[in-house]
Chains A and B, each alone.
Chain A
Amino acid sequence: MTELMAALTDTWDAENSWKLSTYEAAGGYEGLRRALRTDPADLVQMVKDSGLRGRGGAGFPTGMKWGFLPEPDGGPRYLVVNADESEPGTCKDIPLMMASPQHLVEGVAITSFAIGCHHAFIYVRGEVLHVYRRLLAAVREAYAAGHLGRDIHGSGYDLEVTVHAGAGAYICGEETALLDSLEGRRGQPRLKPPFPAVAGLYARPTVVNNVESIASVPGIVTHGADWFSSLGTEKSSGHGLFSLSGHVTRPGQYEAPLGITLRELLDQAGGVRAGHQLKFWTPGGSSTPIFTHEHLDVPLDYESVGAAGSMLGTRALQIFDETTCVVRAVSRWTDFYAHESCGKCTPCREGTYWLKQILHRIEAGDGEETDLDLLLDLCDNILGRAFCALGDGATSPITSSIQYFRTEYEAHLGGRGCPFDPARSTLFDDTPQAPPALAGAGGH
């Protein structure tokens, strides 16, 4: 039984949780003080030893990413925080920055010191006005307290931090598209290599890390790499925010060591909404292949989720019960990918367009038997052939839903259309509840 815990979330319920004074009262910035007395190379090693892996979805070892920077050549090196959280279902970084932006700012200061960066950027999506306000205020407070700026705490180390608001584009969560956007361009991915570690922002060595990854750094420095690696599994160490949404009794943020299962999380969250059963779920956002009740006991760590045919992604656990039409769900996700495809590469630009057309006609009842194979063929021509992961992600919900729910697709074909009543799946559904015999925490 994996217990919930509170590392990143520990100050979120405090009064004025976003203020520097609140964060410092809970021990905040102790990590920075320690870091400034530590050799930067030792800090990089500490994060390597902790086993921290990128919390933005890819799961690449964070310390190793830092270690890829070339030797200093006297020119600038940059840290860019990816705060462009917009993967459907993902809702962890935004509440973190709303409730406790100092966690991130301290992580930025420590990371910048470790990698030899003197100007860091936080790229936050533009569609979260109050979070942007909180970040601006947090950075201002940190400057005033001497945690940022010139000669930080007498160490001789200087750091400038700029908080930058995007303007609405999912693709800017892809790290090289984010860099192009931060340079004032259309946010389109770059060819790799060169990787950002070698030629990133302004073609200089750059580390791009997710908010939660960076916010986890102060705890590692304060409590030690051993503490962090003692949490979670051997290859997926540490704590993570698990975001439950949809047809669950108490949706929300649940912090736990990696490796907890959905069954355990649902137990904590009151189960699937009363009177209903689990139908399908995403382990890490819409770009990760869907799971069903068969996967309730899959440990939510990188290896186990991968072995079960999906990806841990951002731990965005979107829960759908039996009232949800899987074709409708997948069709809407596909609309999203078609809308957000940046247009740079043909497989994604054209492929998502056609996926959308076919799914719309299936949903409307105008699909034919051959359309399912056509969908799979299209997916086969996108997966691995697109310029970045957006195209790959677009295929995940389609191929996985046809794998698990082919008969439900077929039920839509030949003029039949959707057999579901969308009103039943809403939060404000007022149709009579299922008889008690069927009630219970679905699937468990």
Chain B
Amino acid sequence: MTAEPVGARSRTGYDAETLAALVADAEQILARYPDPRSGLLPLLHLVQSVDGYVSRDGIIFCAEQLGMTAAEISAVATFYTQYKRHPNGEYTVGVCTNTLCAVMGGDAIFDRLADHLGVGHDETTPDGSVTLERVECNAACDYAPVVMVNWEFFDNQTPDSAAELTDRLRAGETVAPTRGAASVCSFKQMSRVLAGFDDGRADEGVGAGGPTLEGLRLVRAAAAVDDAPGTPGTPAAATSDRPGAEVPPETGTEQSSAERRPTTPSDDTGPAGPADPEEGDDD
């Protein structure tokens, strides 16, 4: 079902060079799947990496690659929130306003940013730098309230820290997420990665932030006290005999703007798809 050869006959408005590059990338994408249509989501990410949104040309391009109609492609593209129907800013700033983050301060952060930037949900600043969004739960609830910039994690934000973050983005400064690459890339660069084209940055950043390691930190501390790695119920017994006495620092990850008040002496450094719970076959 793939694709008659595109090229001179493409109905897209891409210039020859852009089109040739897109076709070469598309071939790589489709080769990952037994059925080419499985490549549609990455193809849509790919056209966003060129146009900054799912453009008319992008839709036609996908249709030509897969031998489908533009209407069929649009039907898919409009289902998913990450596909933008108008040109996106260089940075999507997404504030989690699902319940937990909203309660922990996400609502206040969103209100401040809307006021600070002069735009509302899914609107872009006039300079084209920032698109503000309310986002749903992004699986970082232990770092609430969370802000995502081009889908990199900015943990434990406040209205002030988020406003400063957008100021720096708009000033063209390099901005580093709390847990992620060493710097936030552009919306187009991000889209290219999501199309499956590795940018070689996986080794940047931390493996885990403080909250991710809270339980493990206690296990290590208990093992250090017991000095008995084989005790049932301790993890050292569960897996390897790696030396377990190291107690990792308790958070305060780089770039964190946490303002959690110390509440105990040991707290002085600060910080699934539907569960389908009734269906026995979900997983």
Contact indicator A86/B215 (Cβ below 8 Å): no
- For residue B220, which residue of chain A has the nearest CB? A13
- For residue A163, which residue of chain B has the nearest CB? B196
B252-283 toward A: CB 8 Å interface, digit per residue (1/0)? Answer: 00000011110110110001111111111111
Q: What residues on A are CB-neighbors of B151 within 8 Å? A: 126-129
- For residue B73, which residue of chain A has the nearest CB? A184
Residue A43 CB within 8 A of the other chain: no
Contact indicator B281/A6 (Cβ below 8 Å): no
What's the Cα separation between A59 and B276 when bound, in Å? 9
B123-153 toward A: CB 8 Å interface, digit per residue (1/0)? Answer: 0000000000001111111111100101111
Q: Which of B5-13, B14-22, B97-105, B163-171 contacts A (4 or more CB under 8 A)?
A: B97-105
B203-238 toward A: CB 8 Å interface, digit per residue (1/0)? Answer: 101011111111111111010000000000111101
Residue A109 CB within 8 A of the other chain: no
- For residue A389, which residue of chain B has the nearest CB? B276
The smallest beta-carbon distance between A155 and chain B, in angstroms, is: 23
B178-211 toward A: CB 8 Å interface, digit per residue (1/0)? Answer: 0111000000001001111011011101011111
The smallest beta-carbon distance between A194 and chain B, in angstroms, is: 11
What's the Cα separation between A129 and B184 when bound, in Å? 10
Residue A29 CB within 8 A of the other chain: no
Q: What residues on A are CB-neighbors of B283 within 8 Å? A: 54-58, 60, 62, 65, 82, 175, 208-210, 213
What's the Cα separation between A428 and B259 when bound, in Å? 6
Residue B75 CB within 8 A of the other chain: yes
Contact indicator B282/A137 (Cβ below 8 Å): no
Contact indicator B275/A87 (Cβ below 8 Å): yes
A201-240 toward B: CB 8 Å interface, digit per residue (1/0)? Answer: 0100000111001000001001100010001000000010
Contact indicator A127/B148 (Cβ below 8 Å): yes
Q: Which of A32-40, A281-289, A364-372, A409-417 contacts B (4 or more CB under 8 A)?
A: A281-289
Q: Give the interface residue-count category, chain A.
A: 35 or more
Given contacts A57-B277, A167-B80, contact A329 B103 (CB under 8 A): yes
Contact indicator A427/B259 (Cβ below 8 Å): yes
Contact indicator B199/A425 (Cβ below 8 Å): no
Q: Give the interface residue-count category, chain B.
A: 35 or more
Using a CB–CB distance below 8 Å, which chain B residues touch chain A? 32-35, 37-42, 44-45, 66, 75-76, 79-83, 94, 97-100, 102-105, 107-108, 135-145, 148, 150-153, 156, 158-159, 177, 179-181, 190, 193-196, 198-199, 201-203, 205, 207-220, 222, 233-236, 238-240, 242, 246, 248, 250, 258-261, 263-264, 266-267, 271-283
Using a CB–CB distance below 8 Å, which chain A residues touch chain B? 2-7, 9-14, 16-19, 25-27, 54-60, 62, 65, 76, 82, 84-95, 98-100, 119, 125-130, 132-134, 136-138, 140, 162-175, 177-178, 181-187, 192, 195-196, 202, 208-210, 213, 219, 222-223, 227, 231, 239, 242-247, 249-257, 268-270, 273-274, 284-288, 311, 313-314, 316, 318, 320, 324, 328-330, 332-333, 336, 339-340, 342, 388-390, 392-393, 422-423, 425-428
